[in-house]
Chain A
Amino acid sequence: MNFPVLSVITFTPIIAGVVILLLPAQRKNEARAVALAAATFALILSFWVYFHYDQATAGYQFVEKYSWLPALGISLHFGVDGISAPLVLLTGVVMFTGVLISWGDDHPHVMAGIQDRPREFFAFLFILASGVFGVFVSLDLFMLFFFYEIAVFPMYLLIAIWGWIVTREYAAMKLTLYLFLGSVVSLVGVIAMYWVAGQNTGVYTFDMLEMEKAGFSQVFQNIWFLPVFLGFAVLGGIWPFHNWSPDGHVAAPTAVSMFHAGVLMKLGAFAALRVGIMLLPEGAKTWSWLIMLFAGVAVVYGAYIAFVQADFKYMVGFSSVSHMGLVMLGFSTLNREGLLGSGLQMFSHGVMTALFFAVVGMIYDRAHTRQIPELGGMSKIMPFATGGFIVGGLVSMGMPLFSGFIAEFPIFMGVWGRQWLVAVIASISIVITAAYIMRNIRQVFFGEVPEKFEGHLTDITVLDKVAITTLCLFMIIIGLFPSFMVPMVQTGVQNILRLLGGA
């Protein structure tokens, strides 16, 4: 029996969370230390998985299977493929940097990090992290759901308790209800799939590898594809169900925004791909035009709304809607290029948006405002953060030599192959994105420091710098050496194409 690396990764955060809860409440630094240790451990293991994934054999690897409820065909079945291995790594990275950002700093003018009840904060954050890991590695539909819900409910507490005081209650409730409704709608579809697959094959099981062979009828797939796909895609921020997302991003504390935009939205997209497209491929073919329409609107509309925002964090929030729209757009092509681009974009956007939210959080913690017109000259105060944001901005614009280009270019190629008009319209978003990113870099980071900030703004901490460096490294490495990730994702795409019936 090999080392059960995936279950160790999945359960490390939740065990660390319990350990943190058992510490006395006033031991804040111990809580932080345990959190960092667990996050580092999970990061190292996810690196290990990533580099030991054998791309030559492809398929699902590091597979573990434990019977859990045989009466209903539920098992604890873990494994990663070329799509999910990068996402596991992404989660490890965001978790690690999120802990660093939330460390908490007792500087008099800075309310950075988590000061209030860090124990509970890290415990809830880690429950969420376990849920996220669990979804990415689950090959059992029931368990995927189980972890999916675990990833959803801590968001409410994290946002409502530690979020931005003005909108946190509203945003947290809105987010939770949207996501819960989406997930239970998918649940109905999943249960229907379970029964029909059982009738077709005679074996009642939630095992996705078995369900792939269930041979769902065309009519069944046409009926159930939309509820299943869209139910999950709500968490992916698909238009017109994206409304919860910017509100949630803005209200959440920095680390939670990073998790939320960086990882959780991928969770929705990933589950929509894994359950919707991979198990109901014929339904996906029937409805791909609708998904393409929704995603196309999200791309352009999200970018435009981001362009007109005066609040820095709302701007980043809507840019996430736009970029996640690209992921969905890639899904809707159902061809090699589009899916490859989506797989890469999920990672690239996850790292980039985590970086954006980290920098926005650092600025807000110091300046106590996020209004873009009120800010200025931040490069003089926090040059490191400025550099990080510029790298992120270049990724966001899809500049060559950065990961954004590697991810977005194939998506547009794929879309062109399906419907050139959509590709043309969607590409407008690149121009808009470039416009608002550059405008904000100029306004926020360059120019004069406003008088009211003179003197009492401080630079970011060493931990913040470590976090920014880590995130930037990934964007640059993928940009310079696409072979770091492209072949890996390709093996995953190959599997999806097999299910779609094309070679």
Chain B
Amino acid sequence: MARLEPLGVLEAWVMDVVWRKGSVTARDVTEAQRGRRRAYTTIMTTMDRLHRKGLLSRTKDGLAWLYAAKLGRDDFERNLADQLASEIVASHGEVGLAAFVDATAKDAELLERLAELVEARRDEK
């Protein structure tokens, strides 16, 4: 899976339409607008960008492209959350986030030893 980027306002709205309707053309998305209307070309460009980001797949339907989401809404949000949370963990200490615990692979044995120590103290009391 390619690296997921957080969505911009228009991208999020377009993805919302695609998730609700399934397979859509840029014309379908343009016509689904209410209130402030974006130009057809703007929607087309946005959908092309989402395709290049790997979020939409597309097949030719006559002269138009038919777009569909590669991931469902839940899968997208879960994968994005995983990725963003990993970035937060990786950047911890860089600009002053305070994590409850940091750990490394070599800590596995240490954790067991400390757990035994905690148990021993519990038994003492």
Q: Are A and B physically bound partners? A: no
Interface residues of B (CB under 8 A from A): none
